[in-house]
Amino acid sequence: MEYTFKRAEYTDSAVLFDGCQEQPLDLDVSLPDYCPDIQRILKCQVLPCISGHSLNGDRLETEGVVRVRVLYLDSREDTVRCCEMESGFSSVIPLRETPEAGAAQVTTRLEYVNCRAASPRRLDIHGAFSICAQVLESRRQPVCTHSEEEGLEQRCETLSASALAGLGEQQVTLTETLEINSSKPPAETILRSRCYCVVQDFRPVSGKILAKGTVRLEVLYTSSLDGSSLERMDFEIPFSQMIDCLGASEECRCSLRMEVTNHSIQIRSDANGEPMRLETEVRMSAFARACRDRELTFVTDAYSTQYETELDYTQIQVSGLDDVVQETAIEKAAMEPSGELGRVIDVWNEVSNVSGEIQNGQITFSGKMNLCLLAADSQGVPFYQEKLADFSLSRAWNGPEEDRRVSCWAQVGPVGYRITGGTGLELSAEIFLGGTVTHTASRRAISGMHGDESRCKEENRAVLSLYYACERESLWEIARSHGVSVRSLCEENGLAGPEESLTEGQMLLLAAP
C-alpha cells in the first residue's frame, strides 16, 4: 500500500555556475597619424566591457570589447597624450546543466597588463582579464509536510527559510548631455574617464524592483585653448529605474546589484560654438533576487504501528536570506610621490576587490583598492604613480554565525587628497559596499512511503513489554524499533516528548496500540 502525504512546494535558487574565466589580451598597436611620438609611457588602462550575454542551452555566451587607453608623454615631455583603441572579444562558459528559468550576472575583472613602447610609434601590450559570472536557476522542490493516515507516526522538522520569489536581470541605458562648468576651459580631448553606479535605495513592488541612485562620472580632459592644460570634472546623473523581477511583491525582501558595463563620451559644441558639452551614454546591468520568508515543515522520518514499511528519501536544500548589506566608509592611505611634487593633476581608483566574513560577533569586510596619482613635478613634468592599499570595515553582527556566507562587492567612489609635510599625500577614498548574508541547510526528507500489508506487526508483538533504555537513548528510536506510538510511550512513562533523550538509564513500559 502507498501512504498518502500532504505536499508543499519550496522554491529555491540553484547555482549552475559561479566563477571566472580568464581571457588573454595580446595587442601590437601602431599609433594613428594624429598622435605624436611616444617619449615615455605613463599609464596603460585596460577596460573590458560586456556588451551582451545570453543563456544558450547549457552555455553562457558573452561578447564585448576591451578598451585600451595609453597615457604617455610626447617628445617635449610636458604634455600628456592619449592613444585609445578597442578590441572585440567573446567567450563561452559551460554550465552544469541546461537551465529552464535561469538568470545570469556577468562582470569583468582585470588581472594584469604589461605595456612597452617597441618604437616611438608602436606599442606592445600583453595582459589578461577575467569574465566573472553567476548563473542561477529557479527550482521547485516538492516536500512532504504531514500525513493523516491511520497508525502512522511522523517525525517533522521546521526550518526558517527564504523561498525564492523571483529572479531578474535587465540592461539599462542612460543618455545625458552634461555641461562643463563655465569656469573651466573648453574640452579638446578626453584623456581619462571613469563611470560607476551607486544604488541608494531599492524596494520591491508588484513584479519589479524600484531602484534609485546616481551614476557618477569622472572626466580628465585637455583644454582646446592650448591643447596641453589638463582639467578634471565630476558629474552625477540621478536615475530611477524599474527592474523586472517576476514574482516580487511588497512583502518580499530583495537584493540588487547594478554595475556600469560600458560608457561613452563625445565632446559637443554648445549654442556659442564652444566645445563645452559632453554627450554621454551609460550602460548598466541589473541583477535582482526577491525572497519571501516562510516556515518550512517537512517529514524526516515515519513508521507504521501496524505494518512493516519502506521509505523513499530525498535531499532538500533550504536557504535563508539573513541580511542585505549597504554600507559606506571613508578609508585613508598615505602616498609618497617618487619625485618632487609640484601639483596634483588627478587622483582616482581603478581596481577594487572585497571579501566578507562573520566571526566573534562582527561582520568584517576587507579588500584592496588601487589608488592612482597623476601629478607634475616642480619642473612641470608629468609623472604617474599608483599604490595598492588595504581597506576594512566592521560592524556588529547579532545573528547566528555558523554556516553563514557573505557575498559582497565594493565600489570605490571619489578619491580626495591632502598634501602633508610638503611632499607627501594623504588620500581618502569613499567606499560603497553591497552584498548579502545567507545560509543554506541540507536535510534528508521523506519523499514517499510504502506499507506491506502481508507483514502485520501485531502478529509477533506482546500486548505489554518492558524495555531497559540506556542513557541518552532517543525516545523516537525506541518507539520506532518496537512499533509503538510515541505519544503512548511518553504518557505511560511520564516523559516530556518524542524529541527528548533520556538523562539516565531506566525501565520503560511499552504498550501495543
Distance CA 366, CA 76 (A): 43
Taken in order 178, 179, 181, 184, the sign of the CA dihedral is positive
Per-residue confidence (pLDDT) for residue 351, from 0 to 100 = 75
Q: What is the pTM of this model?
A: 0.85
At 482 the three-state DSSP class reads helix
Cell of 15: 547555482
The residues, ordered by sequence, that sit 6+ positions from 63 with a Cβ below 8 Å of its Cβ are 50, 51, 52, 53, 88, 89, 90, 91
Cross-strand pairs, 33 = none
Asked if residue 236 has pLDDT above 70, the reply is yes
Q: Which residues of the chain are in CATH 3.10.350 domains?
A: 461-513
How far apart CA 255 and CA 269 sit, in angstroms, is 41
Could you give the 3-state DSSP secondary structure of residue 481? Answer: helix
For residue 42 the three cell numbers come to 605613463
CATH T-level topology, domain 461-513: Membrane-bound Lytic Murein Transglycosylase D; Chain A (3.10.350)
pLDDT at 301 over 90: yes
The confidence score (pLDDT) of residue 224 equals: 75
Residue 499 is predicted with a pLDDT of: 63
- Encode pLDDT of 430-480 as tens digits: 999 999 999 988 999 999 999 887 788 766 666 777 888 888 888 888 888
CB contact set of 5 (below 8 Å; sequence gap of 6+): 144, 145, 146, 147, 299, 446, 448, 449
In whole angstroms, give the CA distance from residue 359 to residue 357: 6
Q: For residues 35 and 56, is the Cβ–Cβ distance under 8 A? A: no
The answer to whether the CB of 240 falls within 8 A of the CB of 210 is: yes
Other Cβ atoms less than 10 A from the Cβ of 487: the count is 13
Burial of 227 (0-12, 13-18, 19+ CB in 10 A): exposed
Residue 337 per-residue DSSP state? -
CA distances from 440 to 10, 151, 185 (A): 14, 34, 57
Q: Give the SS3 label for residue 486.
A: helix
User: Whole-number mean pLDDT of the chain?
Assistant: 90
State the average pLDDT over residues 1-16. Answer: 90
- Give the Cα separation of 333 and 408 in Å (integer): 22
So what's the pLDDT on residue 172? 95
Give Cβ neighbours of residue 481 (< 8 Å, ≥ 6 apart).
none
Closest listed residue to residue 501, CA positions, set 485, 483, 479: 479
Question: What is the reported pLDDT for 461?
Answer: 67
Nearest Cα to Cα of residue 331 among 382, 366, 279, 290? 366
**Bridge partner list, 88:** 65
Higher pLDDT, residue 500 or 91 = 91
